[in-house]
Amino acid sequence: MAAATASSFSIDEFLERERQKDLLRFSTAGSVDDGKSTLIGRLLYDTQSVYEDQVRSIEGKGTTAPGQIDFALLTDGLRAEREQGITIDVAYRYFSTARRKFIIADTPGHEQYTRNMATGASTADAAVVLIDASKGVLIQSRRHAYIASLLRVRHILAAVNKMDLVGYDEGAFRAIKADFSAVLDQIAADTGTPAEVHFVPVSALAGDNVVHRSAAMPWYAGPTLLELLESLPSAQQTHTAPLRLADKDPSAGTPALHPTDKDPSAGTPALHPTDKDPSVGTPAFRFPVQRVLRPNHAFRGFAGQIASGSIRPGDSITVLPSGRHAKVKRIVTWDGDLDEASAPLSVTLVLDREIDISRGDLMVASDAQATVARSIKAALVWMDQRPLDLGRRYLLKHTSQTAPAFLAAIDYRTGLAALDHVPAQTLRMNDIGAVSLNLLRPIALDVYAENRSTGAFILIDPESNATAAAGMITAAFSDPGAAADDAADAWGRVTAGEREARWGHRGGVIEISGPLKLIDSIERSLFAVGAVTSRIEADDDAFLLHPSLLEIVSGIAARSGLLALVVRADEDVTLAARAEGVEITVGAADSIQAVAAVHQLLHRTGIFISSEKADL
């Protein structure tokens, strides 16, 4: 039947071509009303990526002149957005050309929604930064360009939009190009991210130089926006290759993108899509453990997504922060074992020996280790209504782990107008700055400039649960002494907070009754996640003689920050556990589930303070 549907068209050929396509993620950026959504709508429309019913549903609506489609309505999908004529949150759109697939994040320009712009840019390989030709470079253009640079979005496509409003004037384009190039250079000097930038004059409304070449701007012979997007290095190169330094020498004879399209206004190094920088070796293997898979006694595998580099059976790995070594025995997937796997594949690794590994650990190549640190410096983009509070505890989520962290100092806030470093007591929503953080336990990491996965984190407000900030690690110090000096008197009594900080849980009493073997497994599992326990047998003769003693003893343990396990062995088919007045009863037959239930109880009652669940 396929043949009947399409005679000259071969589905097998089509599918084969689809298999070869790669994926590029890009986001938009720029000030409010610069035309980002209109540009994306135009791009989709001119590549025939929107369905007729979708076009029909927006005809005759929006802000444009009668008869002209308001393309922004294709992406501004919320009612509030259509009512106010602005973008509030990121819209993700998808399209594909003969060469590659694209994931677009169309972000809002309004300052109030900067966090949503950062959301869209964080996963992007390229950013299309718009500048309104009639307005020039605005403070919000600088903010967005700065954030894109901090996030190390590799390629900037600067689209000078609304050229129709300035009579398609080359001079206007050149002035903005000179202006914005200077800003980008300044930003690159500050963030340390070299900018690879390309300028295109466009009119999103009229469709000039978006997909089709403009007849109105004969003075521009460079590539259209779509041609640029099609020729950037692919997403996977961004994943696996470290960010390379741009060729900053504009006079270098780099081959042009399209042989015939020499941009006379060029000063930008031309792109070379298939180019691989020979100076860059293979990036180091990084594998954050998401989950331990243990379906039966014979199998124990570590599930995760390869963050960078690649791995083969036989390779030596080190588990951080513990520092234990092993060799990879198998790379397991549902489709069969692999003989090699590289980022960003999700796989399950089986090692050649039993070592203690749990969720949150980082496996690294033994010959290219990551840093284990309790003290870091980072660039922050603050995103919460509630300003940064020095000395308050936040939760730092990094790869597959969450650790409590204190903000020790604000090193500076970045002034966007002059791109200078301003002393600051706090960071407010949409502020960008540099901070020092102390973690309550060590984590394994890289700096963000070297690894976009193992160098990134978010801060979560533990009270509101809001995502308060995006962080990019700029330096890490493994000295554990640095973390201790903020709160406690060096010679005073040890406080509950200090114990909590070291052990990762509060003191408390949990009463458990059930089969002895299961109780042992529970104790073992608590030990495995680092809990400091004191096991108290309730049926001990001493407690039978003096019943009140049990409460006294367990109370002392809890006040010392220990987790007192008051246990009663019986041969019941259920397991009962009680802590802080909360009681649970679970079947004892499924020991894994019973153990998990006890861990959940400890989380629910707040005895375990980290947000991580013990992996079982």
Ligand X SMILES: Nc1nc2c(ncn2[C@@H]2O[C@H](COP(=O)(O)OP(=O)(O)OP(=O)(O)O)[C@@H](O)[C@H]2O)c(=O)[nH]1
E-only strand ranges, 140-240: 155-161, 196-201
- Residue 118, C-beta contacts closer than 8 angstroms, at least 6 positions apart: 147, 151, 381, 383, 470
In the list 24, 44, 58, 72, the residue contacting ligand X (rule: CB under 6 A) is 72
Scan residues 155-194 and list those touching other proteins (CB under 8 A).
Answer: none
Instruction: Give the Cα separation of 11 and 27 in Å (integer).
Output: 32
The residues binding Mg ion (CB under 5 A) are 36-37, 87
Strand 467-477 to 456-460 pairing: antiparallel
| Contact of 362 with 403, CB cutoff 8 Å | no
Task: Give yes or no for residue 265 binding ligand X (CB under 6 A).
Answer: no
Stretch that binds other proteins, among 128-136, 259-267, 291-299, 500-508 (CB under 8 A): 291-299
Q: Is 204 in the site for other proteins (CB under 8 A)?
A: no
Considering only 32, 88, 183, 576, the residue that binds other proteins (CB under 8 A) is 88
Nearer to ligand X, 215 or 298 (CB): 215
Tokens in use for 342? Answer: 């590289």
- CA dihedral 341→153→451→431, nearest 10 degrees, is -140
CB of 469 to other proteins, least distance (A): 9
Minimal distance in Å, beta carbon 111 to Mg ion?
14
* 590 is a site residue for other proteins (CB under 8 A): no
What is the Cα–Cα distance from 111 to 114, expressed in whole angstroms?
Answer: 5
Q: How far is the CB of 242 from ligand X (least distance, A)?
A: 32
For Mg ion, the closer of residues 37 and 610 by Cβ is: 37
H/E stretch holding 499 reads: helix 496-503
The smaller minimum CB distance to other proteins, of residues 203 and 348, is found at 348
Q: How far is CA 58 from the centre of its chain?
A: 34
Taking the CA atoms of residue 483, residue 325, residue 608 and residue 499 in that order, the dihedral angle to the nearest 10 degrees is: -40
CA–CA distance, 346 with 351 (Å, rounded to integer): 16
- Binder of ligand X out of 44, 45, 74, 87 (CB under 6 A): 87
The residues, any chain, with a CB within 8 Å of residue 294's CB and separated by 6 or more, are: 300, 301, 592, 616
Q: How far apart are CA 368 and CA 449, in angstroms?
A: 16
Q: How far is the CB of 499 from other proteins (least distance, A)?
A: 23
Q: Which is nearer to ligand X, 26 or 503 (CB)?
A: 26
Q: Is residue 19 part of the contact set for other proteins (CB under 8 A)?
A: yes
Task: Give the C-alpha separation, 292 to 613, whole Å.
Answer: 12
Residue from 203, 290, 371, 610 binding ligand X (CB under 6 A): 203
Residue 437 one-letter amino acid: L
Binding of residue 233 to ligand X (CB under 6 A): no
Among 37, 119, 400, 414, binds ligand X (CB under 6 A): 37
DSSP 8-class letter at 179: H
Choosing from 24, 34, 146, 285, the residue that interacts with ligand X (CB under 6 A) is: 34
Comparison of 91 and 443: residue with beta carbon closer to ligand X: 91
Question: Could you say which residues in the range 44-83 bind other proteins, by CB under 8 A?
Answer: 51-54, 74-80, 82
Answer with the entry of other proteins, ligand X, Mg ion, none that 293 interacts with (C-beta below 5 to 8 A by kind): other proteins
Task: For the segment 92-131, give every residue that binds other proteins (CB under 8 A).
Answer: 92-94, 96, 100-101, 103, 115-116, 118-119, 122-123
* Contact flag: residue 89 with other proteins (CB under 8 A): yes
CB of 161 to Mg ion, least distance (A): 12
Pick the closer one to other proteins by CB: 131 or 289: 289
Which residues in the 369-388 window bind ligand X by CB under 6 A? none
Q: What angle do CA 186, 38, 110 make, to 5 degrees?
A: 50
Place of tokens 């007192």: 564
Does 360 bind ligand X (CB under 6 A)? Our answer is no
End-to-end CA distance of the chain: 50
How many residues interact with other proteins (rule CB under 8 A)?
Answer: 97
Q: Please pick, from the candidates 246, 338, 482, 536, the single residue that binds other proteins as defined by CB under 8 A.
A: 338
Which of these segments, 106-114, 119-127, 410-418, 519-527, binds ligand X (CB under 6 A)?
106-114
* Window 440 to 479, contacts with other proteins (CB under 8 A): 452-453, 456-458, 460, 462, 465-467, 470
Which string of x and - marks every residue 162-201 that binds ligand X (by CB under 6 A)? Answer: x-xx------------------------------------
- DSSP of 455-496: TEEEEE-TTT--EEEEEEEEEEE--THHHHTTTS-TTSPPPH
CA 174 to chain centre: 36
Please state the closest distance from residue 306 (CB atom) to ligand X, in A.
Answer: 35
Pick from 339, 479, 541, 571: which binds other proteins (CB under 8 A)? 339
Nearest to 147 by CA among 387, 493, 419, 447: 419
141: left (phi over 0), alpha (psi -120 to 50) or beta: alpha
Task: Count Cα neighbours of 565 within 13 Å in the Cβ-side half-sphere.
Answer: 24
- Contact status: 109 vs ligand X (CB under 6 A): yes
Question: Using CB under 6 A, which residues numbered 1 to 30 contact ligand X?
Answer: 30
Q: Which residue is nearest to ligand X (CB)?
A: 109
Catalog residues that contact ligand X under the rule CB under 6 A: 30, 32-38, 63-64, 70, 72, 86-87, 108-110, 161-162, 164-165, 203-205
